[in-house]
Amino acid sequence: MSAISRVIIGLLSLLAASLTKAADRPNVLLIVCDDLNTHVDPAGYEPIHTPVMKQFATEAQTFQRAFCQYPVCGPSRASFMSGLYPESTGVLDNTADIRQTRPNTVSLPQYFKQHGYWTGGVGKLFHTPKHDHGDTAWNINLRFNNDELPNVRAARQKFEVEHGSVETGPNRRRWRTLKKQVSAKLSGKSPPGHGPSGLTDAQHKDGKNARQVAQWLTQKTYGDQPFLIACGIQKPHVPFLAPNKYFDLYPLNKITYKPDHPKLWDSLPSLAKVKRYESFGFELGKENDALRREYTQAYHACISFIDAQIGIMLEALKQSGHWNNTVVIITSDHGYHLGDHFLWGKVTLFDIGAKVPLIIRAPGLTQAGSTSQAMVELIDLYPTLADLAGLPKPTHLQGTSLRPLLGHPERLGKKKFAYTIVTRGPKLGYALRNQNWRYAKWPDGEELYNLNSDPEEKQNLAGKPHLNERLMELRQILAAKQIEAISKKR
């Protein structure tokens, strides 16, 4: 055999080995919802209808103590997509782009693409199209819009009968003004739009997202490569729009909630709150029962709607033949207030604003129907997926692989605290939480909650003399965590 022949045979052997190794790698289906708090069945929230997530949890491992690192879309996504704390990403608002604040950082999908995975992204994964990493991260990357709302379509058709096409010069401005008025109730920003959309599931952008993923799976768009498919579900982000049938699940008179004490905020740092409640039409310390029921109904309708879309993707995964060699993760970028603490929206350090659903199914590892109380952070997703795929650990990560916890729900892991920050002007608020306590430090005060006796965080204990030692301990731990969080900053 000639030397050239031996070289060729050697190269073919290496190629065959490489292809075999790639074929053995698990696929990944990552589903990230937008503004979804723990009002889901697997988190034990009884008033909600999420049969798909409930069923999926019976086949997976649910993490009951999972937290984001920054409770707003842009910073949270930059954080978990890079495996870094926000101080290290440099992304502390919805405008900043990690590609400028920390150049050459390799994102989760980019890393998988570099290692032979076919990567497909649809919907909101990075914060906006301007923030998306494009071809460096994805083989295919798509975003959809909702179809025209029926009430807008009716107004447009009437306008065009009277004035001609909305696309002609002078009509464009007039139509934009009229369209804004017509769609305000459903699509406005302040107050946030909400209500039955009049569209079908498939006419909503999330319906299109789910069906696109199903198409990739059933048509095997990924070819012979292992795949990482990520779906950014847009709901229940405002406007709270969903097909009419999902609103029917939640009659207004059946909505339940726990009213807060009017003087709740007397014992809390002022900077702990965010004034988003004003744009929803509420006042701090005052309950508005009818309006609260209306918004809660709409938020819950959106959750039931996206639950059905998740079902489309999971069913397509089974049809593709890859159910038993695909890691599936369902989570959210952060939580959301629905009137508790008199707050609405996000950007707070309360658990309802920072805690996220996290359900993982890793075939051959996770125990069906298991739950974990381990402290978990969203920055752990990147190292976990790289670990499960058998890829070299990226050197820049600050998260920790959850693989040792998968299949061992009794383990609490090495991570003792979850860490979350948020900005207030040029300054920051910080939160630490472990199994028993949440501590928050603000420029104008502190918070301390015993999560065993006060899981809803209504009794601030920061000023209690008998807890001074506890407070000092948490201050020291926070100081060390702050140093760790900026350790990868460039």
The secondary structure element, H or E, covering residue 442 is strand 437-442
CATH number of the structural domain spanning residue 472: 3.40.720.10
In the chain, the number of structural domains is 1
Q: Would residue 271 count as lying in a domain?
A: yes
Lookup: tokens for 282:
């509420």
Candidates 233, 257, 235, 231; CA nearest to 246 is: 235
Q: Would residue 151 count as lying in a domain?
A: no
Q: Would residue 183 count as lying in a domain?
A: no
Q: Would residue 387 count as lying in a domain?
A: yes
pTM: 0.94
Lookup: tokens for 300:
């819950």
In terms of Cβ atoms closer than 10 Å to its own Cβ (0-12, 13-18, 19+), residue 298 is buried
Please report, as a single letter, which amino acid is at residue 146. Answer: N
The secondary structure element, H or E, covering residue 5 is helix 3-24
Contact by Cβ (8 Å): 271, 442 = yes
Return d(Cα 409, Cα 418) in angstroms, integer: 18
Q: Domain limits at 277? A: 24-146+197-485
Return d(Cα 333, Cα 378) in angstroms, integer: 8
Alpha carbon 123 to chain centroid, angstroms: 12
Q: Would residue 18 count as lying in a domain?
A: no
Q: Would residue 163 count as lying in a domain?
A: no
* Omega before residue 236 within 30° of 0, cis: yes
273 forms beta bridges with none
Q: Dump the DSSP string for 195-223.
A: EE-S--GGGSHHHHHHHHHHHHHHTTTTT
Q: Would residue 169 count as lying in a domain?
A: no
The pLDDT tens digits along the chain (490 residues) read 555 555 444 444 334 334 435 558 999 999 999 999 999 999 999 999 999 999 999 999 999 999 999 999 999 999 999 999 999 999 999 999 999 999 999 999 999 999 999 999 999 999 999 999 999 999 999 999 999 999 999 999 999 899 989 998 889 999 999 988 888 889 988 899 999 999 999 999 999 999 999 999 999 999 999 999 999 999 999 999 999 999 999 999 999 999 999 999 999 999 999 999 999 999 999 999 999 999 999 999 999 999 999 999 999 999 999 999 999 999 999 999 999 999 999 999 999 999 999 999 999 999 999 999 999 999 999 999 999 999 999 999 999 999 999 999 999 999 999 999 999 999 999 999 999 999 999 999 999 999 999 999 999 999 999 999 999 999 999 999 999 999 998 8
Q: Would residue 420 count as lying in a domain?
A: yes
3-state DSSP helix/strand/coil percent for the chain, to nearest 5? Answer: 40, 15, 40
The secondary structure element, H or E, covering residue 437 is strand 437-442
Q: 351: Cβ–Cβ under 8 A, 6 or more apart, which residues?
A: 67, 335, 433, 438, 451, 455, 457
